[in-house]
Chains A and B, each alone.
Chain A
Amino acid sequence: MQMKFLSLALFANLIAATGAHATLDTPQLPDNGYSKAVFDVSHGWDAHKEPAPGIMILAASSGHGTDHAAMNQPGYTVGDLVITNVRAGATVPKAPVAGGYMVIKNNGSASDFLIGGQAAFAGDVQIHEMKLQGDVMKMRELADGLEIPAGGEVMLQPGGYHVMFMKLSEPLKEGENRKATLTFKNAGSVEVEFAVKSRKDLKSHGMGHSGHGSSN
């Protein structure tokens, strides 16, 4: 828990430091010609250098029971990676997109990258990073994938990194389990099941406040 509070405090500081200037930028709606590199227009936010707020990258040796430990769901193993707490947000009918979340631990000695995936219920699966900068929500596609550092653990959770299911063919309903394939640059592909959770459950799990993860 201490680590969590530390991370929340860092989050607050980051928000304070990166702060309000974004909100007073001149708003604009480029009508075309926005095909330049995504990071050119990110107002100083470099997703590769600055982790998104709320994201914890825990050292594998931290020894803490993490939130996912209590999920009654098996982990998935592909290469040196262990994937747990695989869940997705329930959507309202006609919602075009949904977010997928999980914890990925890398027991290997080299970095790997989550680069994409496939799902029967989505026309496209991308890896995104969301970040609240001041009061502006920003989202970026991680074109080179999400790095899972050697010996490290990365959480995909509401407010940060997520799998973005796009062009949904049907809503995701709470309580369902939805199969999808995740693809890693080095480890290859693995089929996992996303447990569809209500927004509320998703949030409490993701933020680690609910105590759901403390059964160990």
Chain B
Amino acid sequence: MSALHRRMGIWAASAALVLAGGFVWLATTDAPQQIAQRVVQSSGIGQPFNLVDHNGNPITEKAFEGSPTAVFFGFTHCPEVCPTTLYEISAWLKTLGPEGMPIKAFFITVDPERDTPEIMKSYVSNFTDRIIGITGKPDDIASLARSWHVYWKKIPLESGDYTMDHTASVFLIDAEGNFKSTIAFRENTDTAVAKLRKLVSPSS
């Protein structure tokens, strides 16, 4: 690890702190309405979108409104992180039981060229009926992912196929549309469940 990289890491950490500060500020000053707009426009995270859910129906940022929401970016040609995360989200929701019912969960593909609504549905529905898959036009997906500061990149394979690098964290948004926190890949189950519980009942 070069000194330059280490410095970049510190830079990034500082930037993340500033961002986090911004969220706190937003959470305490905004009117509790028009969530998507708030998360999106004021803080620079997320933005309005027009995509397609795994049933082939149009879906917009309104789907993230009114309920605590968990969002994960991935793709179906993903050997481990995506199936593990979908499996874990299902398990967390199961653990929460009735308490977790208000939580909406979305799996947004960063590989819309291969992940059609049909493929998303057959894939996601094998894990749980609590997660809705989202796909759409590549440009629209790119724009949304960028707005969430999600990293993704297409990586060619020798066979002519490709795989995707992508941010592996689950984003948590509260019922008012405030970005609250993330659940990292391989985060301890108890911590993950506690974060979701807090998302549903902030005062508990």
Chain A residues packing against B (C-beta within 8 Å):
17-25, 27-31, 34-36, 38, 41, 44, 89, 91-99, 124, 126, 128, 130, 132, 134-141, 143, 158-159, 162, 164, 166, 199, 203
B84 at the interface (CB under 8 A from A): yes
Knowing A19-B12, A29-B142, the reply to whether A91 touches B83 (Cβ < 8 A) is yes
Within 8 A of A (CB), among B147-178: 149-159, 161-163, 165-169
Let me know if B63 is at the binding interface, CB within 8 A: no
Nearest-neighbour CB distance to chain B for A156, whole angstroms, equals 12
Q: How far is the CA of A141 from the CA of B159 in the complex (A)?
A: 10
Contact with A along B1-20 (1 / 0, CB 8 A): 11001101101110110000
Q: Is B101 an interface residue (CB 8 A)?
A: no
Which of B80, B126, B152, B182 is in CB contact (< 8 Å) with A159?
B80
Q: Is the CB of A135 within 8 A of B168?
A: yes
Contact check, A92 vs B127: say whether CB atoms are below 8 A apart.
Answer: yes
**Interface residue B81 (Cβ < 8 Å from any Cβ of A):** yes
The reply to whether B153 and A29 form a contact with Cβ atoms under 8 Å apart is: yes
Q: Taking CB as reference atom, which chain A residue is nearest B161?
A: A166
Total A-B pairs, Cβ < 8 A: 143
Contact A159 B186 (CB under 8 A): yes
Is B24 in contact with chain A by the CB < 8 A criterion?
no
Contacts of B168 in A (CB 8 A): 132, 135-137
Query: Is B49 among interface residues, defined by CB-CB distance under 8 A?
Result: no
Q: B119 in the interface, Cβ–Cβ < 8 Å?
A: yes
Q: Is B194 an interface residue (CB 8 A)?
A: no
Complex CA distance for A146 and B169, rounded to whole angstroms: 28
Name A137's contact: one of B83, B126, B185 (CB within 8 Å): B185
**Interface pair B119/A20, CB less than 8 Å apart:** no
**Which residues of B are found within 8 Å of A30, using beta-carbon distances?**
153-154
26 residue pairs bridging A and B, Cβ less than 8 Å apart: A21-B5, A22-B151, A23-B151, A27-B151, A27-B153, A28-B153, A30-B154, A34-B154, A41-B153, A91-B83, A98-B79, A126-B159, A128-B163, A130-B79, A132-B81, A132-B168, A135-B184, A135-B185, A136-B166, A137-B165, A137-B168, A139-B79, A141-B158, A159-B80, A162-B80, A199-B83
Which DSSP category, helix, strand, loop or mixed, fits chain A's interface?
A: mixed
Q: Is residue B146 within 8 Å, beta carbon to beta carbon, of the partner chain?
A: yes
A32 to B203, CA, bound (A): 49
Chain B residues in 8 Å Cβ range of A140 = 155
Complexed CA–CA distance, A158 and B16 (Å):
29
Could you tell me if B84 and A24 are in contact, using CB atoms closer than 8 angstroms? no
Q: Which residue from chain B places its CB closest to the CB of A206 in the assembled complex?
A: B80
How far is A122 from B156 in the complex, measured between Cα atoms in Å? 19
B153 CB contacts on chain A under 8 angstroms: 27-30, 41
Is residue B102 contacting chain A, with contact meaning CB distance below 8 A? Answer: no
> CB of B138 within 8 A of chain A?
yes
Query: Across chains A and B, which 9 residue pairs bring their CB atoms closest together, nearest first?
Result: A92-B126, A20-B12, A21-B8, A19-B9, A137-B168, A99-B79, A94-B122, A138-B165, A135-B169
